[in-house]
């Protein structure tokens, strides 16, 4: 009863009134990266912690090096561990110790080469990767020397596009986008003329609501394709597979978090976002052009029925 009224008050006043005496007053440091859903989700969870009376700080960090930061306790947690992009760094940090798996979101993820549907008119064998390769010249630009151009994600997502092109003998040049926004600009620029284009993309994301499209089907991911040359069709190369088509989205925590911030850790283990919820977080920023903090405010205001039980069961 006492718990419940405190929770209702917190909701009504949006002021930190829920006592969490056992939690440290040190700020919970939450890392943010360079794609919108992760930034908004981090603010959503940060605002939940503030409602619980906890102190929060955000730091912008490299999305691979962050696993070392969580392991060392320099940041407390990571809210979006995408299997395709970060599985390798996450597993490496796990094996060194200091961080642990804090559970899965109720989401299925995929990150890979992707095209807007109009591209298929010019290359009907898609989504097969060999068909894509046979169409390479329709993706050529003034700078690509007659080869197809593939716009990969920013360098720190380590998508290994160049290695994949080499491993599979593809007639493509790989260019890294400077930011996620550069990917959307590339698709947007191709749209008026329905020009064929192939870029890195992922799901859940806002893009699927704007541009119907498909992922290229590469040789199916096998565990070890990024560490054992024998895996995948090329016996001498790594990265000769697509990314997992039904990847996980995990949360990770510093091993010291449960002792230092037990309520916050409890909420971390309870919370779980779905594909549509994650896509909506990205949409608030990438389509509606809200600042991430405002996007988090809006998302929280519209979803109290989802988040209040997580907070209520941990305070």
Residues that bind ligand TMO (CB under 6 A): 35, 82, 85, 111, 157, 202
Whichever of 49 and 202 has its CB closer to ligand TMO, that residue is 202
Whichever of 157 and 310 has its CB closer to ligand TMO, that residue is 157
Considering the complex, what minimum distance in angstroms separates the CB of residue 161 from ligand TMO?
A: 12
Chain mean position to CA 304? 23
Considering the complex, what minimum distance in angstroms separates the CB of residue 77 from ligand TMO?
A: 17
What CA–CA distance (Å, rounded) separates 83 from 20? 33
Considering the complex, what minimum distance in angstroms separates the CB of residue 124 from ligand TMO?
A: 28
Considering the complex, what minimum distance in angstroms separates the CB of residue 46 from ligand TMO?
A: 19
Whichever of 89 and 119 has its CB closer to ligand TMO, that residue is 89
Whichever of 10 and 281 has its CB closer to ligand TMO, that residue is 281
Please tell me the number of Cα atoms within 13 Å of 256 on its side-chain side. 14
Burial of 275 (C-beta count, 10 Å sphere; 0-12/13-18/19+): middle
Residue 283, classed as helix, strand or coil, is helix
Sheet holding 77-82, edge to edge: 77-82, 249-254, 99-104
What CA–CA distance (Å, rounded) separates 109 from 84? 8
Chain mean position to CA 107? 11
Residues 6+ apart with CB under 8 A from 236: 229
Q: Which residues pair with 104 in a beta bridge?
A: 250
Considering the complex, what minimum distance in angstroms separates the CB of residue 148 from ligand TMO?
A: 21
Residues 6+ apart with CB under 8 A from 264: 20, 23, 28, 49, 52, 54, 76, 257
Give the Cβ contact number of residue 120 at 10 Å.
Answer: 17
Whichever of 99 and 183 has its CB closer to ligand TMO, that residue is 183
Considering the complex, what minimum distance in angstroms separates the CB of residue 130 from ligand TMO?
A: 24
Whichever of 52 and 77 has its CB closer to ligand TMO, that residue is 77
Find tokens 């979006």 and name the residue.
80
CA-derived radius of gyration, the chain: 21
Whichever of 218 and 265 has its CB closer to ligand TMO, that residue is 218
Residues making up the chain, counted from first to last: 315
Whichever of 23 and 152 has its CB closer to ligand TMO, that residue is 152
What CA–CA distance (Å, rounded) separates 110 from 239? 16
Considering the complex, what minimum distance in angstroms separates the CB of residue 37 from ligand TMO?
A: 7
Considering the complex, what minimum distance in angstroms separates the CB of residue 176 from ligand TMO?
A: 13
């Amino acid at each position: 009863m006492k718990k419940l009224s405190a929770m209702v008050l917190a909701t009504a006043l949006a002021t930190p009134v829920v006592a969490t005496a056992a939690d440290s007053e040190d700020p919970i440091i939450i890392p943010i990266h360079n794609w919108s859903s992760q930034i908004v989700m981090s603010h959503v969870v940060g605002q939940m912690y503030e409602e619980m009376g906890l102190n929060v700080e955000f730091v912008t960090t490299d999305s691979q090096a962050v696993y070392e930061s969580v392991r060392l306790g320099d940041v407390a947690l990571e809210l979006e561990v995408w299997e395709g992009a970060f599985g390798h760094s996450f597993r490496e940090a796990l094996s060194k110790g200091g961080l642990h798996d804090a559970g899965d979101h109720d989401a299925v993820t995929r990150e890979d080469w992707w095209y807007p549907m109009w591209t298929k008119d010019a290359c009907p064998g898609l989504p097969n990767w060999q068909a894509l390769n046979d169409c390479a010249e329709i993706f050529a630009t003034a700078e690509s020397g007659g080869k197809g151009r593939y716009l990969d994600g920013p360098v720190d997502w380590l998508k290994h596009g160049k290695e994949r092109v080499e491993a599979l003998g593809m007639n493509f040049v790989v260019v890294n986008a400077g930011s996620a926004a550069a990917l959307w600009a590339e698709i947007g620029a191709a749209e008026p003329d329905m020009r064929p284009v192939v870029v890195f993309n992922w799901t859940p994301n806002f893009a699927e609501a704007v541009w119907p499209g498909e992922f290229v089907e590469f040789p199916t991911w096998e565990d070890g394709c990024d560490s054992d040359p024998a895996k995948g069709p090329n016996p001498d190369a790594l990265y000769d597979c697509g990314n997992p088509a039904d990847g996980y989205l995990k949360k990770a925590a510093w091993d010291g978090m449960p002792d230092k911030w037990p309520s916050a850790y409890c909420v971390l283990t309870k919370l779980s976002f779905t594909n549509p919820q994650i896509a909506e977080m990205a949409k608030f920023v990438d389509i509606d052009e809200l600042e991430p903090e405002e996007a988090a405010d809006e998302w929280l205001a519209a979803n109290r029925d989802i988040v209040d039980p997580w907070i209520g069961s941990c305070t």
